[in-house]
Amino acid sequence: MSALNTLRAIIFYIVYAASVVVHSTLMLCVAAFMPYPKRYRLLMLWNRFAVQWVRVACGVRFSVDGIDNLPAHPVIVISNHQSAWETVYLPTRFPQLCTLLKRELLRIPFFGWGLALMRPIAIDRDNPREALKQMMSKATRRLEDGCSVLIFPEGTRVLPGTKLRFARGAGQLAANTGAQFVCVAHNAGKYWPIKQLAKKPGTIRVAISPPFDSTGLSAAAITSLAQNWIQSKLDEFEQVDAGFVTS
């Protein structure tokens, strides 16, 4: 089975890489000159393709609880980070979503060029103090422009089962701006694991919280609320998968 999963992953990545080159090239020629909302919709065609392609090629499906909780207005989206899957899937759920990411990603040929068209918030992680200032300034402007902002407070991908340790950047942004925030929990790393070629067939579980008001809350309180909510859902996913409770 592992050999079959590896073969399926190789086929997946061949098409995946080719689609990145083709779509990014087209978007640079066409979408770069469009108003951002229309450009975003065109960019999401590839994201939707990638989510479906990993399902077809590798058997990686997903199930979402709370999709109706996503509001129409801009919010701060706080999510755990386990794989590449959530970075592809989550932007498809919003009219406009800007992701906080390390600026090195924008230097990747084709992939980074297409990513730059989504107006991400790229920061220099080698300079944490300056990175925090950049994030606060750029993310505040994105919210004012009508874009939601996606932040992974762990800062990097972590293995499934690792207890959460959130930095306060997302909480500080919510406290400073008064914007509502939505929490997202998922176990994508179980099926699209980091530093592994093969994908594991199965269903990724995703849970989305109702919007939380940040008014009157400190950055620490917001961070704690988000971390506890997401951790409780991750623990629930593990219990369901282990057969202790039914979904």
Tell me the domains of the chain and their CATH numbers: 2-242 (3.40.1130)
What is the Cα–Cα distance from 34 to 118, expressed in whole angstroms? 12
Residue in the block written with tokens 């293995």: 159
Determine the average pLDDT of the residues in 85-90.
Answer: 98
Determine the average pLDDT of the residues in 160-172.
Answer: 94
Residue in the block written with tokens 């689609």: 19
pLDDT of residue 9: 97
Displacement of CA 78 from its chain's centroid (Å): 9
> What pLDDT digit, counting tens, does each position of 48-83 carry?
999 999 999 999 999 999 999 999 999 999 999 999
pLDDT of residue 1: 61
pTM: 0.93
pLDDT of residue 31: 84
Which residues lie below 8 Å from residue 212, measured CB to CB, with a gap of 6+? 180, 181, 182, 183, 222, 225, 226
Asked if pLDDT for residue 140 goes beyond 70, the answer is yes
pLDDT of residue 2: 86
pLDDT of residue 128: 77
Determine the average pLDDT of the residues in 126-149.
Answer: 91
Determine the average pLDDT of the residues in 209-215.
Answer: 97
Asked if pLDDT for residue 245 goes beyond 80, the answer is no
CA distances from 149 to 25, 82, 94, 123, 173 (A): 25, 18, 10, 14, 10
What the block records as the tokens of 35 is: 């108003």
Determine the average pLDDT of the residues in 170-178.
Answer: 96
pLDDT of residue 199: 97
- What's the mean pLDDT when you consider all of the chain? 94
86 near 205, Cβ under 8 Å?
A: no
Instruction: Categorize the per-residue pLDDT at 130 as very low, low, confident or very high, splitting at 50, 70 and 90.
Output: confident
The secondary structure of residue 199, as a DSSP letter, is: P
202-208 and 181-186 strand pairing? antiparallel
